[in-house]
Each structure stands twice: as C-alpha cells, then as structure tokens.
Structure 1
Amino acid sequence: MTLRNRILVLVAAVAALAVVAVASVLHASARAERRNETQPGGPKITAGRITLTAPGTMVFRNMAWGPHRDELTTVTAATPSGPRTASGLKCLRFYASSGTGVCLQAVHGTVTDTYRALILDAHLKETARYDVPGIPSRARVSPTGHFAAWTAFVGGDSYAGTNFSTRAAIVNTRTGKLIPTLESFRILKDGHAYRSADVNFWGVTFAADDRTFYATLATKGSTYLVRGDLRTRTVTTLHTNVECPSLSPDGTRIAYKKRVKGLPKDAPWHLYVLDLRTMRETSLAEPRSVDDQAVWRDDHTIVYAMPGDYGADLYSVPADGSGRARRISGAAVSPAFLR
C-alpha cells in the first residue's frame, strides 16, 4: 500500500469515528426527548409551576440536554444540585427580584435571529416586551422589582478583546418607560464632564433606592465602575478596571471581574470584591478566569458560571477572599436567588 493510500485510509477512519461519536450524542439526546428526560447522567427535571415569590429558591436557565433545555428552572437554594422543576419558558439570560423577572430571548427567523426582552410577573406571565438590538449578554432587576436592565452586543460577541460594542438599556417596569441606551446619560469622569464617541456601557446592577445603579463604562481602552443616577441621568466614575459589577444585598460591596496582567488575552479576568466605602479590593479564591456577571447568593457568597459539559456550570466562592471555589450545580447558568 502506498503512503498516499495509507493516509487516505487513516483520514477515512478518523472521519468514520467522528460520525459515530456525533450520531451517539444525537441518538442519546433524541431518546431523552422522546422519554421526556434529560440526557443520561444529567440532572432530574420535571415540568411544573414556578413562582418568583418563593424565598429560598434559585431560578436559572437549565442547560441539560433534553426537552427542558434552555428553560427557566428552579431548585431550592440550599440544595442547588437537587431535582429541578422546569417552567416551559426559554431564556438566554434571566434575572428576578421581588416578583419581577426579565427574560432575554432569541426569536429564530428564516434568515437571521432577532432578540427581545420580556418583563415577567411573579407567575412568569409576560407583562411587556422590548426589542433588543443584538446578542443578549447581561440582565438584572432592581431589588424592588421596579426596574430591569439588559446588555446586548451590537458589534462583536465577546468581552475579551476590544473590538466590540454594547448597548445597555433600563426600563421602568411599572410605567414601561424605556431608556434604550445609557449613552444618553451625562458622564462625569474624574470630576469633569466627559464625552467620547467610543463610550460603551454594560453590566448594570441596581441599589435598593430605585434611583442608584452601577455599571461598567469603557472608553479609550480602559474600563471604569460608574455610579448612575436615574433621576439626574448622570453617571460618575468611581474606580478603574471594573467589569460586570454586581452589588451585594447590603449595598456595601461590588463583585466584579478585573483584567489581570499576564493572563491570556482570551481569558484575562480574575474575580474581585470592592468595598465601596474604602475602595479596597479583595481578590477571590477562584484561580480561573471568569467571564460572567456574578450574583450574590447572600452577603457572604458569590455565584458565577464557568464552562461545563453541557455549556455551563455554577460555582460559588466566599466573598471575603477565603476558602476555595466549588461547583454547586451542573448544566446551569444565569441564576437568581429569591429572597
């Protein structure tokens, strides 16, 4: 057999093995669909009713293959890896507070997909919907449930590089008044009014006063934590190198991802917590790069998503820099802890 023929045989064998592997995965998924089950090895999931006013529960997007893939699902917060109840409502990103939810969805078209934000009541019934101008990436609801926010990529699809553009919107869930972009707000940077064509905002997080919010502002290759005021429509820079902030339940600290020198360009972040009174940073005990807007399980624990076998898994780490990171739930992303 010539060398050329040997190579052709080898290529054909590799291709055949790849086809078998793909067929096996598709068969397992199809069998799970027919049986109304998740793929073997996945979490136990049953259909049921979900409410956003049940304290002590975690609501999230289920990532396990099967009939409930991408649906909003709930578990008890005390046992996040336990059996799940699936709602039937599919979301790409989700958040909820005080009986109000925001669900960012894809609308699949014949040529291209479009996106929308649904405002949900406590029983997951849609109360309003808004067009989203690009791929959804972040979602938040204020502690009172009176405001919701979302971020979308309108150019690019990753925060790792610099060649992207985002659009952050805030809506009053009571009146329906929409602020389609935070770029309309007045910027105070280092105590002075600031304007630039390259300004981007993302990762809104709300305080409990229905007025104050925090977000990331990017301009001229740098990122800043900004404090926003919904009444005066201004944002003020507070701290540098802050992305995807998340305000603690007690309103005193911000969890965020920070770019660290020496890390790979496609995975440049480390998790930190910032004390808003002292501006002291605390590095958290998660050694891997985290690309997520973390959530606070309580005043002491941070929860975030990392890549997993089904797309994403949830991990937790202490907010004071102690301890270690641990996986709390597989095949899950975009959690909200109901209080």
Structure 2
Amino acid sequence: MRTAWAKQRTAVFGAVVVLVTAGMTAYALSAIAENDRRTSKATDATTTSMTRVEQGPRILFRHTGRDADYGHVGAVSLSDPGGARALTDLSCDRVHARAGSVSCLATERGVVSRYRATDLATSSPGKAWREVDGIDLPGLPSRTRISPDGKLVSSTVFVNGDSYMVSGFSTRTVIRRIGGASYGNLEKFRLVIDGRRVAPVDRNIWGVTFADDDRTFYATVATGGRTYLARGDLAARSLTTVADHVECPSLSPDGTRIAFKEAVDDGTRWTPAVLDLATGERTVLTGETHSIDDQIEWLDDDTVLYGLAREDEPVSDVWALDTSATATPRVLIPEASSPAVLP
C-alpha cells in the first residue's frame, strides 16, 4: 500500500511541478512581452518628446521617481519645468550639461563596482547624443560640472585610504578637456592660502565651477578643518583662496556672484548662501530651513536650484529659491536631482 501511495504522491507532485513551471513560464513570457511593449512604447515617446523639448530652452536632470526609469537623464522645457518630461536611456549618478556637451558620472555595479565619467555631445538640438570621451573614476561619484562653452569638464569623487584620514572619505577632483588632455588631480596645483604658499598633506578639493574665459575656475579647498573658496588658474596650475567657509561653489551667469552651501548650527547642516565676488558681501538664504547637501545651479541671475531629498522617501525634488535673504523655496521639478539649465 505504501508503494502505491508513494507512486501516487510522486505522480501528483510531478503534475504540480509541471503546472507550476508552466504557470511561471507563461507569467515570465507574459512579463517579458509586456516589458518589451512598455519599453518600445516608452522609447518611442521619449524620442519624440526629447526632440520636442530640445528645440528650446530646457533643464536637464536626473530622474528620481520610484519606477523603471530611476536614475535616467531627463529634460523639461524651461517654460514649463513642472510639466511633461522627456526621459532618455542614459543612467547617471550625477549629470551636468552645457553648450551641447553632457557629463555623466555613473556606477557600474557588479561583484566589484566600478565608476566611470562619460562625456557625450550632440551636433544640434534634437540629435542623438554620442560618446566622445570617458575615464574610469577612482571612487564614488560626487560632483561634475561643464564649462559655459562646453569644452572643459570637472569630476569629483569620494575615495578612502589616504594616510591622513583616521576614518571617512577624502576627495579627488580632476579637470579635463572634453575629447582632449587632462589637467590632472587639482591637489597637485600650487596652493596659496591667505597670501601664503602652502602644501598641506590633508588638502581636499571639490565642487568646481567654471568662468567663461576657458581658464578661470572656482573650487572648494579644505585643510586643517577649514573650507575656503579658491580661484583656480588652469594655465598657471594654481589655486588661490579668496574667501572662507564656502562649499560647492557655483558661479552666476553674469560672473559676479558665487552661490554655495554654508555650514551652520555647528556644522550639523548646510544652508544656501550667495557671495558677491567684488564686495565680499554674503547673503544667507534663510528661507530654506532644510539642510542642502548639493552643488547649487543657477536658473537665472536671481534664482538658484538645488536637489533636496524627501523625508523618509528615496526620492528627491529640484527646488527653486530666489536670492533675496528671506525668499520662500518652491518645488520646481518633482522627482528630480542634479539640474543643469540650458537656456
């Protein structure tokens, strides 16, 4: 009797396995087909939409919606930033763009993750982006910026292992000519702090922003527990401090002011602020009460943009804030980060 029951149980089990396997196979095939249909539909819509969006002024950004396009680069019309967005198949951790050039810092995940900076370009609005240059990165992507003429690009990453670090991360920042030579690690540049040439082993440099003369840039220099705004000269391979307590600078479109994040409340949070380069006057934008850990982007001469994560959600939004001291911030692009304005 046990043998007969065993045979019957084996037969029943085998039938269940066949049914479950068939069901799973059918579901998988259905899911694949549905995904292909959605991908094809999304690709068609994106191509048409991107062509339309790129015909005029726009904002490029990184999509942060909780969907299959998370991390993909998108664009919205500058005249309707909260409206319909176009999404591409380019995935980045950080992105920036200027004058037909795009910089994408990305993590290539695997058993051992790799990091890469890719430079892309387009010959004219609406045309496909093509890869023109790229380098492997020595650490986790943090910041990237392209010069106004689209010829220079900077990248900053977090690294570990520096001998002076007891714990945590330090940075590596390089500037390159897109499709050309690299100026190398900015820590190798001659450094002048408060009028005196120095060579501290603990220096860290990050957050490059470019002027429009193909030579001048600004960056944060940190050493000895202090942060400085430094003016860089690519031809002279030098960095000279011009102000202190400045992080992640961003030069205004007219070249007269620096937007940045300033540490407040004993360094427990950052608030957006603006520095007048001619007078040294600072305006702290107290209307923003959240901690802003981002490199600010200028929307125009009077408004700045930055990414801000939502509370208790893996989603961020791009906010806009007038540069008057007590202005109230507002969401400009929902489910977005890393904005780049292309007027």
TM range, normalised to the smaller chain?
0.7 to 0.9
Whether 1:115 aligns to 2:115 is yes
Shift of 1:46: 4.3
Shift of 1:114: 0.7
Distance 1:106 1:59 in 2: 19
Whether 1:334 aligns to 2:338 is yes
Whether 1:127 aligns to 2:150 is no
More helix by share: 2
Distance 1:213 1:328 in 2: 28
Match of 2:308 in 1: 306
SS of the counterpart of 1:36? helix
Shift of 1:229: 0.2
CA deviation vs aligned residue, 1:241-268 (integer Å, no higher than 9, x gap): 100000000000000011113463xxx2
Distance 1:250 1:71 in 2: 30
CA deviation vs aligned residue, 1:98-142 (integer Å, no higher than 9, x gap): 111101111122x22110101110232100110111010111000
Match of 2:272 in 1: 271
Distance 1:112 1:324 in 2: 44
The answer to whether the 8 Å contact 1:183/1:199 transfers is: yes
Distance 1:279 1:188 in 2: 19
Distance 1:209 1:196, change over 3 A: same
Distance 1:129 1:96, change over 3 A: same
Match of 1:24 in 2: none
Q: Give the alignment of 1:14-93 within 5 angstroms.
A: 34=35, 36=38, 46-48=45-47, 50=50, 54-93=55-94
Distance 1:317 1:88 in 2: 30
Distance 2:300 2:333 in 1: 17
Match of 1:170 in 2: 175
Which letter does structure 2 place at the counterpart of 1:113? S
Shift of 1:162: 8.2
Distance 1:171 1:263, change over 3 A: closer
Distance 1:138 1:299, change over 3 A: same
Shift of 1:78: 2.1
Q: Give the alignment of 1:77-226 within 5 angstroms.
A: 77-109=78-110, 111-122=111-122, 123-155=128-160, 163-174=168-179, 176-226=180-230
Where in structure 2 are there 5+ consecutive unaligned residues? 1-30, 123-127
Which letter does structure 2 place at the counterpart of 1:126? E
The answer to whether the 8 Å contact 2:66/2:315 transfers is: no
Shift of 1:196: 0.7
Match of 1:41 in 2: none
The answer to whether the 8 Å contact 1:36/1:66 transfers is: no
SS of the counterpart of 1:65? coil
The answer to whether the 8 Å contact 1:162/1:221 transfers is: no
The answer to whether the 8 Å contact 1:154/1:166 transfers is: yes
Distance 1:55 1:182, change over 3 A: farther
SS of the counterpart of 1:73? strand
SS of the counterpart of 2:116? strand
Distance 2:240 2:318 in 1: 32
Distance 1:153 1:46 in 2: 36
The answer to whether the 8 Å contact 2:221/2:229 transfers is: yes
- For structure 1, which segment, 208-217 or 79-88, has the greater mean C-alpha deviation from structure 2 after superposition? 79-88
Distance 2:152 2:67 in 1: 33
SS of the counterpart of 2:103? strand
Distance 1:54 1:239, change over 3 A: farther
Q: Give the alignment of 1:231-310 within 5 angstroms.
A: 231-262=235-266, 264=268, 268-284=269-285, 285-308=287-310, 309-310=313-314
Which letter does structure 2 place at the counterpart of 1:47? T
CA deviation vs aligned residue, 1:51-104 (integer Å, no higher than 9, x gap): 796441111111112232211111112221211111111111000001111011
Distance 1:145 1:315 in 2: 25
The answer to whether the 8 Å contact 2:257/2:275 transfers is: yes
SS of the counterpart of 1:153? strand
The answer to whether the 8 Å contact 2:56/2:77 transfers is: no
Identity of aligned pairs, percent?
41
Distance 2:45 2:84 in 1: 8
SS of the counterpart of 2:187? helix
Distance 1:163 1:219 in 2: 15
Aligned residues: 293
Tell me the TM-score normalized by structure 1: 0.81
